[in-house]
Amino acid sequence: MELQDYVTVLRKRWLSILLLTVLAVAGAVAVTLVTTPLYEARAQVFVSVRTGGTTSDLAQGSSFTQRQVKSYTDLATSPRVLIPVVEDLDLSTTPDELARTITADNPLDTVLINITATHEDPQTASDIANATSESLASEVTDLEKPEDGPSPVQISSVRAASAPTEPASPNTKLNLALGLLVGLGMGFGIALLREILDTRVRSEADVRKVSETSVVATIVHDDEAVKDPLLVAANPHSQRSESFRRLRTNLQFLDVTDDLQTMVVTSSLPGEGKSTTAINLAITLADAGSKVLLVDADLRRPAVARYMDLEGTAGLTTVLIGRASLEDVVQPWGNGQLHVLPSGQIPPNPSELLGSRTMADLLAMVSRAYDVVIIDTPPLLPVTDAAILARLTGGAIVVVGAHSIHQNELAQSLGALETVGARVLGLVLNRVPAKSAGSYAYYDYAPLAPAPEGRTSRRMSARTAEKAQEVQAAPLRARTTSNPPFREPDRARTGEVADFFGEPPTTTGSHRWPGAPLGQDAPH
């Protein structure tokens, strides 16, 4: 992982890191409050040797003292030294227990011994330290005393212990600092571990870990899409609508050598937004002037007719079993450039029906009658329908739901297409949070509200203002667009459906605004 990845983890999971840090600091505070305060008192003694006044005697005495002082340090916590301390101070403890509260050390290259005593009572701590230093001096003198003379070793007190005013433990500042460091370390470590173990696809970088297939579009998340899936038609100036237009543009550059007329839109699992992506893409292509056929080939959980408010009882399955012709069940939508073929009734054998020769002939026929044919199919992992149709068409566009699918699942779905020899045209990363989609997602480029009526610019000349008023007062003349019914196929010319678009009707009242819903006439 690079530095940027660590920063991303920190920004993404800062709340959990902060929570663990607060808990660790709170634990340190709790430990500090419940811990009994202990006081430390220190006494210091000096070890010397009685020698003659010559230089040789002094050198020998110094060498002897430095060798022996280590033994005297260990002797300070021995029962021989501590038994008199317990008796003199009348302590309710044993020499061994007392030894655990006393430490003795010898500073490097010195003949000093520091004796430190720890106790809950500061005065008792100082008494124990002083008593131990006195007992040590007495015992060393007895041990080093020869039979016929005084002891050559003398231990003198150079610093008497005094009662401390502040407890040595617990150290509140140290505990808080340790709690903070431990909390930050645990929080970031757990966050990093979760990030490594979390294999959900969240961004294009995660997609690139699975496949080298291009991400042809990133569709930002929009809360309004839940209420109105056809956001391109309901709110054409939203950022999500612009994402579908970007998808439309990128599709033109998928492969300049092939004329991609038919394509499958699918996903790995249900709920990734494949149906809404197919519908909005079809609407976007139709708005650009292409003749588009949207086919609902999800014969298990069809959703196109429900989303687009169309009749769905007759459709693809009705045509495939020969009970109706294509012209009878295809329904126009919007500006007339988009036609929809619903799924029809759900059959008992969807995979066999979609993989039949009749389906292949139907796709060949509609690919010659329309500029683009978009087929909504079931997910890849639960069933094989999408893989079958992807092989019969120009390829598949795989919708990847951000934060809803794992990398291994995406790899399995792409592998299913590769197994049957189907072509993956590109991936569409759907429902990406705006903050993850890039800075452009925050910009709103919707049309500005019109100026109030009668208000003119200060820089507008009188002649220009007069001309503007004439234009506003003139009656609007609606442009007409054709909404032709299906004609009987000209089999003498092509043997298939020759043209789904006839001449514009001349009947008064049948003219519609481009992009207006069916049945809505232009004002006269």
**For residue range 434-450, what is the model confidence (pLDDT) as tens digits?**
765 554 444 444 444 44
Q: Are residues 344 and 473 in the same domain?
A: no
pLDDT tens-digit profile of 154-209? 888 899 999 998 888 888 899 999 999 999 999 999 988 888 887 888 888 888 88
Q: Are residues 356 and 257 in the same domain?
A: yes
The DSSP secondary structure of 300-317, one letter per residue, reads SS--HHHHHT---SSSHH
Question: Which pLDDT value is given to residue 519?
Answer: 37
Kindly state the average pLDDT of the residues 108-123: 90
Question: Which pLDDT value is given to residue 228?
Answer: 65
Would you say 513 and 478 are in contact if contact means Cβ atoms under 8 Å apart? yes
Q: Are residues 221 and 333 in the same domain?
A: yes
Domain membership of residue 287 as a residue range: 204-442
CATH number for the domain harbouring residue 94: 3.30.70.1130
- Residue 459, pLDDT > 50, answer no
State the pLDDT confidence band at 97, using cuts at 50, 70 and 90. very high
Question: Which pLDDT value is given to residue 475?
Answer: 41
- Residue 496, pLDDT > 70, answer no
Q: What is the number of structural domains in the chain?
A: 4
Q: Are residues 114 and 248 in the same domain?
A: no
- Residue 235, pLDDT > 80, answer no
Q: How many Å apart are CA 362 and CA 341, to the nearest integer? A: 12
Q: Are residues 20 and 136 in the same domain?
A: no
Q: How many Å apart are CA 3 and CA 12, to the nearest integer? A: 14
**% of the chain residues with pLDDT over 90:** 43
Kindly state the average pLDDT of the residues 115-136: 93
Q: What is the mean pLDDT of the chain?
A: 79
Domain-embedded: residue 506: yes
> Which DSSP category does 190 fall into?
H
Q: Are residues 234 and 383 in the same domain?
A: yes
Q: Are residues 210 and 237 in the same domain?
A: yes
Q: Are residues 181 and 135 in the same domain?
A: no
The DSSP secondary structure of 114-150, one letter per residue, reads EEEEEESSHHHHHHHHHHHHHHHHHHHHHHH--TTS-
Q: Are residues 131 and 184 in the same domain?
A: no
- Residue 341, pLDDT > 50, answer yes
- Residue 318, pLDDT > 80, answer yes
